[in-house]
Chains A and B, each alone.
Chain A
């Protein structure tokens, strides 16, 4: 660890402990970015970077991100799956910075899937 100090971490720890119970109960939304080779080559890292920025800016503490491997659909990369609690997963394709921002605001925060970018709603095995 080069410059990152123990005090910085301790400050965050003390502050977060107070609001910690919020996250302990599980997450309201999970966003999975497909990080297979094709996805990465098509811009999946940038899509994830935008997501992380949006989560930080909106202080959406109940949204988590994860990555998955190849989804077998190279041509539609970058792809993302949005899962809201008790809702069927929605898979989006051909994403870029602007589209993922829109999906984050409308679907992840607002609860309304963005149909124009959706590939599949529900089962992962539709295609």
Chain B
């Protein structure tokens, strides 16, 4: 996995597979603390404690199609490679939160990558899911709440190309500002 935006997509796909109707994606960049935090939480079916125990074992998956679960172990590895870690909070029937933290300026820290396309792919292909995206960069914060947008649309499908376009423009505009803040 080349960058963190692809990991986010992969972890969010787990939430979709778990039947989530609401998925929160949170990115926190704290330059002062030299910390990068990713958090994906959902209201899907959750996991029992046995699954959680097995989950960081790279030879485990509950799927029958293929023998190895890869997604979570790969993100855990990416975090540990830069003095970070991955934690799983989950309750059967309630939902799951996957958090990964990274030392921001670590040489091995993967770049965030194309966050915009990750969000657009998720939103356009799952128009019934309430995605909430929050990106904090030091004192600045951007939030995108799909449930609010859906309300405004009043029955017009969220995956209408024109709607997707304005959502994409909105995220891009924020990311340009956020990236400029870096320098």
Q: Which residues of A contact B (CB under 8 A)?
A: 1-4, 6, 8-10, 12-13, 15-17, 20, 23, 33, 35-38, 40-41, 45-46, 48-49, 52, 55-56, 59, 61, 64-67, 69-72, 74
Contacts and interface: CB of A to CB of B under 8 A. Distances in A.
B160 A61 contact: yes
B161 A66 contact: no
B166 A8 contact: yes
Contact of B157 (A23, A41, A59): A23
A7 to B, nearest CB: 10
A65 B121 CA distance: 9
B142 interface: yes
B126 interface: yes
B142 A52 contact: no
Contacts of A67: 13, 16, 121, 125-126
A70 B159 CA distance: 23
A21 B10 CA distance: 34
A52 B156 CA distance: 18
A46 B173 CA distance: 20
| 5 tightest A-B CB contacts, nearest first | A72-B65, A56-B161, A4-B170, A9-B152, A16-B156
Nearest to B142: A2
Interface of B: 1-2, 6, 9-10, 13, 16-17, 63, 65-66, 70-71, 74, 114, 117-118, 120-121, 124-126, 142-145, 148-149, 152-157, 159-167, 169-170, 173-174
Which secondary structure dominates chain B's binding surface? helix
Which secondary structure dominates chain A's binding surface? helix
Contact of B118 (A2, A45, A64, A74): A45
Contact of B170 (A2, A46, A59, A70): A2
A37 B10 contact: yes
Contact of B117 (A9, A35, A49): A49
Contacts of B1: 37, 40-41
A40 B125 CA distance: 15
B162 A12 contact: yes
Contacts of B155: 17, 20
